[in-house]
């Protein structure tokens, strides 16, 4: 997700500035600055409460700031994320609900379901200096963990996976199987896996079985390098749209 940095706010009276911006907030701020070379980076610091008896509502100023932020984010989306046009998954149908994305397809007598959630999915590189002006902000991408379920009859073969960048290949991604198991099929909309189902870590598996089950089996069902790249692009685009939507919800909420 991309956005503009917050301007530093000044405290009233003789109160001194204190504290530091939360590290995650700083990373998010810096990542957005990478796409806005015309805007300076300034770190927001906490303010002391005013001792003045006169109280003015922050709402008008907040509304203006939200309007500016939404407009800037929409422009960034147009310039860097293909605007309103999200990437497409070959062979899959896509449905969304808030932060959750579901991909479905038929493969012979199999039903394949891929599910991921873009909350907290934006990945940032570490190694920033304390001073924002000295940091080189990376371009953020969303790398949400996702699940794959292959259902046949009354059973489903399930994989929990993590997206990982491919070494020395910019903008290329692969997946790593964290867990796998066989569970009863979902019934009447209930997708919960019974607690007694045995699940194994994907870290400790025979290399030949790893290649056959985690690589070739999933590739035959469309879960290959191209799928991973599309998933990252789609998740990045969709996460950004959700962020803009959140800003709009806040604007409407404070305007009531």
Task: Say whether pLDDT at 50 is over 80.
Answer: no
d(CA 133, CA 135): 6
Q: How confident is the model at residue 51 (pLDDT cuts 50, 70, 90)?
A: low
173 SS3 class: strand
pLDDT at position 17 is 40
Mean pLDDT comparison of 38-47, 51-60, 120-129, highest-scoring range: 51-60
- pTM as predicted: 0.73
Task: Say whether pLDDT at 121 is over 90.
Answer: yes
**Residue 174 CA neighbour count, 13 Å, CB half:** 9
pLDDT: is 22 or 78 the higher one?
Answer: 78
For residue range 211-247, what is the model confidence (pLDDT) as tens digits? 999 999 999 999 999 999 999 999 999 999 999 999 9
Per CATH, the homologous superfamily of domain 87-124+136-235 is Mitochondrial glycoprotein (3.10.280.10)
pLDDT at position 226 is 94
Q: How confident is the model at residue 128 (pLDDT cuts 50, 70, 90)?
A: very low
For residue range 164-197, what is the model confidence (pLDDT) as tens digits? 999 988 889 999 999 999 999 998 888 999 999 9
Q: Which H or E run contains 110?
A: strand 110-117
Pairing of strands 155-165, 173-184: antiparallel
Closest alpha carbon to 249 in 81, 98, 121: 98
């Amino acid at each position: 997700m991309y956005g503009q940095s917050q301007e530093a706010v000044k405290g009233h009276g003789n109160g001194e500035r204190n504290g530091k911006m939360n590290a995650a907030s700083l990373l998010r701020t810096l990542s957005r600055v990478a796409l806005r070379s015309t805007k300076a980076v300034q770190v927001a610091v906490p303010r002391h409460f005013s001792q003045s008896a006169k109280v003015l509502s922050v709402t008008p100023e907040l509304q203006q700031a939200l309007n500016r932020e939404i407009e800037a984010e929409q422009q960034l989306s147009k310039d860097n994320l293909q605007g309103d046009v999200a990437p497409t998954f070959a062979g899959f149908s896509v449905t969304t609900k808030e932060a959750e994305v579901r991909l479905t397809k038929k493969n012979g007598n199999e039903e394949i379901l891929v599910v991921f959630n873009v909350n907290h999915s934006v990945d940032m590189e570490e190694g920033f200096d304390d001073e924002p002006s000295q940091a080189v902000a990376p371009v953020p991408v969303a790398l949400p963990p996702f699940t794959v379920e292959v259902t046949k009859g009354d059973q489903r073969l399930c994989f929990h996976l993590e997206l990982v960048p491919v070494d020395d290949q910019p903008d290329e991604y692969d997946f790593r199987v964290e867990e796998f198991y066989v569970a009863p099929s979902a019934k009447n909309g209930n997708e919960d896996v019974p607690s007694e189902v045995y699940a194994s870590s994907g870290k400790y598996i025979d290399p030949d079985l790893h290649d056959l089950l985690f690589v070739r089996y999933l590739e035959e069902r469309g879960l290959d390098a191209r799928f991973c790249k599309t998933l990252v692009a789609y998740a990045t685009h969709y996460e950004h749209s959700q962020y803009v939507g959140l800003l709009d919800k806040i604007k409407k909420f404070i305007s009531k």
